[in-house]
Amino acid sequence: MQKTISLTDSHLTELIHKAGMRPSVQRIAVLSHIANERTHPTADELYSVLASKYPSLSRTTVYNSLHALVEAGLVRELEIESGNKHYDLAPQPEHSHFICRICGKIYDMALPDGLEKMATPGFCIDCVDLYFKGICPDCNTNNN
């Protein structure tokens, strides 16, 4: 089992504040879920989970918060699943992602250094996304 470090709300508040945004309850909730659950949720998954805790929460607010957090560089958008954007905490070691075709779960994977050197000279690279697709160990076991 992997040890996870929980980011407290006051720490997240500080991060949001430093990014020049107001640390609203909703933004903290969104960022906290992404940072501490590490499930790479979609906007809709975030809404479903948080709506029970914050009954007045609007889907639009989740989208607004995500956009603001991405803009601030605190959150990163994953385009690993067609038609559904997933979100991951940004300030952490660079890594790649794997999505299981059966259960849909997204896992963190290693990312080799210097991949951007693969690019043809003359191109200015500011973002590298490496996505793997296949079957995860859990689903592989269950289907045997």
Partner DNA sequence: TAACAATCTTGTAATGATTACAAAGATAGT
Partner DNA sequence: ACTATCTTTGTAATCATTACAAGATTGTTA
Q: Which residues bind its own copies (CB under 8 A)?
A: 77, 79-80, 82, 85, 96, 98, 101, 107, 109-112, 115-116, 118-120, 122-137, 140
Range list of H helices, 55-109: 59-71
Nearer to its own copies, 28 or 100 (CB): 100
> Rounded to whole angstroms, how far apart are CA atoms 32 and 35?
5
> Rounded to whole angstroms, how far apart are CA atoms 81 and 93?
22
Q: Rounded to the nearest whole angstrom, what is the least distance from the CB of residue 29 to DNA in the complex? A: 9
Q: Kindly indicate which of the ranges 24-32, 92-100, 120-128, 134-142 contains the residues binding DNA, using the contact rule CB under 7 A.
A: 24-32
Which residues fall within 8 angstroms of residue 92, CB to CB, at 6 or more apart?
none
Name the binder of 44 from DNA, its own copies, none, CB < 5-8 A by kind.
DNA
Element (H, E) at 81: strand 75-81
Which residues make up the interface to DNA (CB under 7 A)?
A: 21-22, 24-27, 42-44, 54, 56-61, 63-65, 67-68, 83-85
